[in-house]
Amino acid sequence: MHQRQRARAIELNRYAFESRRETLGPHHFSTLDSLHNLAIALQRQGDLEDAERAYRDVLEARRLTVGEEHDRYGRVALMLGQLLHDQGKVDEARPLLQQAEAYLRRRIKENVNPDTANLLSGVLIRLGRSDEAISELQAWTQLQPESGQLQCVLADKLILVGRRKEAIAAYETAIDLEPDLAEAHSGLSNALREEGRLEDAIAASEAALHPNPNDTMYYNLGNALRTEGRIDEAITAYGTAIRLKPTFADAHNNLGVALGVKGRLDEAIAAFDTAIRLQPDSADAHNNLGNALGMKGRLDEAIAAFDSAIRLKPTLVEAHNALAWLLATCCDPTLRDPVRAVGFAQRAVDLSGGHPACWNTLGTAAYRAADYPTAIGALHRSIQLSNGGSAHDFFFLGMAQWKLAERDKARAWYEKGVAWMDANSPKDEELIRFRAEAEWLLDLPQTLPLREDVRWWDSPQDALPVREDVVGAE
């Protein structure tokens, strides 16, 4: 649905709710149904705070009118619990998901069907009971051994809990049972791709096109081709998917990724903009847009895009890390915010379980914020986890050591950075800036041209005098 249509849906649902509240009263079931529909429309639009408030209002009204054991209450508890959990509000979500579980167990007791099985198993996984979710799904597939859809639900959940090989087998079973089941073909292609079996993934996507050529199959083929590095073919596949379904937001998003790999940034930005217009609550599309805008030098827009991605999905590691890096290192000094960068970088470390790239970002941000001991600790952790580190670690380690008057260590790290850069990435624009910065700070001969943002290397409270003779030199 286009953004204009989504906005129209919100307007109509809001009007319906307000009209029914006035004529029927705030607790009439029709009034509450309209408010529930408004919450769903707000969520689809990406207005998560307003959606949460609306869900809470419906839930409380349902509690007062029909009680917590009623299915109408259970449906709202499910929607609100999922929304809160996916925003990282796990403790708030837990009691609601437990109520949703009770509601879904009542439903599945009456009839084991794929939709209810999918919802219930998803709730159990969100509650941290993954093994139980898989066991129950396996039991349900045994009750209905001819259901390819149930097998597909099992496979989807096996993917979620990291049991990819079992998922592949389940997808294959689903396809054997229902050869035209599009979601099973889609899942199989993606699972094979994530397993690193790229040729098999491409073959699975191409095989699926023969009995069932549709937008999803071309999209999956594009994903497999892109992962294998066949970018031009991937772009063609995504284009076909979009031609078949112009409102396919994920296809526009992944087309943008592929175009970005080819350096076609203006086209990539247009594709991401389209994806966001079609699906405003897509955190991935906002994050990808931020990356492309940053590469184009549209830094203020990139920051806004990353902020939107984090608002929509507070657990998105990539957005936290990218925003922290931009706020700490961007060329425009007026956009730098080292303190804010440290917060996002620390969150990225926490969310990622300590990925070395996130430790590097934290170390860099801490250096910018003049917290040199933290910077040194984080950068050493990055080096340890990445099997030796890179110049992105070494240059900032050298500068942090210099700030603590450890001059010999500082020069040693600088020299290590130069050696790594010369051997691996001599033309990297960021490393050129960082190397020049280190040479300036360590009072070494300038081997690289300096940029005007030199004067903003350090935080305002710890600034170096500006040498007007070299600032801005070409």
Structure token pair of residue 257 = 């990724």
How many domains are there within the chain? Answer: 3
User: What pTM value is reported for the model?
Assistant: 0.70
pLDDT digits (tens, 9 = 90+) for 206-218: 877 766 678 888 9
Q: What is the pLDDT, as a whole number, of residue 462?
A: 37
Residue 151 inside a domain? The answer is no
Model pLDDT, residue 212: 65
User: Are residues 474 and 363 both part of a single domain?
Assistant: yes
pLDDT tens by residue, 231-281: 999 999 999 999 999 999 999 999 999 999 999 999 999 999 999 999 998
pLDDT of residue 210: 67
In this structure, is residue 152 part of a structural domain? no
Q: Are residues 372 and 295 in the same domain?
A: no
Whether the per-residue pLDDT at 472 is higher than 60: the answer is no
Q: Quick check: 448 pLDDT over 70?
A: no
The pLDDT, as a whole number, for residue 442 is: 93
Instruction: Please tell me the predicted confidence (pLDDT) of residue 365.
Output: 97
Question: Same domain, yes or no, for 24 and 98?
Answer: yes
What is the number of other CB atoms lying within 10 angstroms of the CB of residue 97?
23
Q: Is the per-residue pLDDT at 454 higher than 70?
A: no
* Residue pLDDT, tens place only, 76-91: 999 999 999 988 899 9
pLDDT of 460 above 80: no
30 found inside a domain: yes
Q: Which residue has the tokens 């993917």?
A: 159
Q: Is residue 16 part of a domain?
A: yes
For the stretch 140-194, pLDDT in tens is 999 999 999 999 999 999 999 999 999 999 999 999 999 888 888 889 988 998 8
Does position 463 have pLDDT exceeding 80, yes or no? no
- Closest listed residue to residue 182, CA positions, set 270, 110, 241: 241
Distances (CA, A) of 246 to 2, 29, 109, 286, 439: 10, 37, 40, 19, 52
User: Pick from 110, 125, 144: which residue ends a domain?
Assistant: 110
What average pLDDT does the segment 393-400 reach? 97
**Higher local confidence (pLDDT), 12 or 208:** 12
pLDDT band at 468 (very low <50, low <70, confident <90, very high): very low
Count each helix (H run) and each strand (E run) in the chain, helices first. Answer: 24, 0
- The CATH number for 437's domain is 1.25.40
296 in the same domain as 363: no
Q: Is the pLDDT of residue 465 over 80?
A: no
List, for residues 357-392, the tens digit of each pLDDT value. Answer: 999 999 999 999 999 999 999 999 999 999 899 999
* pLDDT, position 3: 61
Residue 224 in domain: no
Among residues 110, 141, 161, the one where a domain terminates is 110
Residue type, 197: R
Are 378 and 460 in a shared domain? yes
The domain in which residue 57 lies consists of: 1-110
